[in-house]
Amino acid sequence: MAVNDAKIQFEDMCIKSEFGVAAALEAKRLSEKYGKDYLNCDDLVLIMGIGKNNIRNLLNSHDFPTIEVGNRKVISVIAFAVWSMRGVYKCA
């Protein structure tokens, strides 16, 4: 393996590690702030500062990692943290 390849792999590992730590810290912060492990539509309105119709569209999009509980869609705090940070860390 060339030195440059090893350096790139090491940098990629560091970025992924930073992403994991940042996502875990954000998930912990949100979970403690809202006292929940899963967020519903109303929680997301408060967190994201956008309207319910936009949140409902997001909850129904295929790119948003929701789970269904009965007829409601929710997202785990960690899944939300990872989803919201995906643009910050391009490797994720």
Element (DSSP H or E) covering residue 20: helix 3-34
Domain count, the chain: 1
* Tokens representing residue 36 in the block: 């929940």
Alpha-carbon Rg for the chain in angstroms: 16
Alpha helices by DSSP H, 35-76: 41-48, 52-60
What single-letter amino acid sits at 26? E
Q: Which domain holds residue 57?
A: 3-85
Domain membership of residue 92 (yes or no) is no
List the chain pLDDT tens, one digit each, 92 residues. Answer: 555 554 455 455 555 667 788 889 999 999 999 999 999 999 999 999 999 999 999 999 999 999 999 999 999 999 999 999 886 555 44
Beta-bridge mates of residue 69: 72
| Domain presence at residue 16 | yes
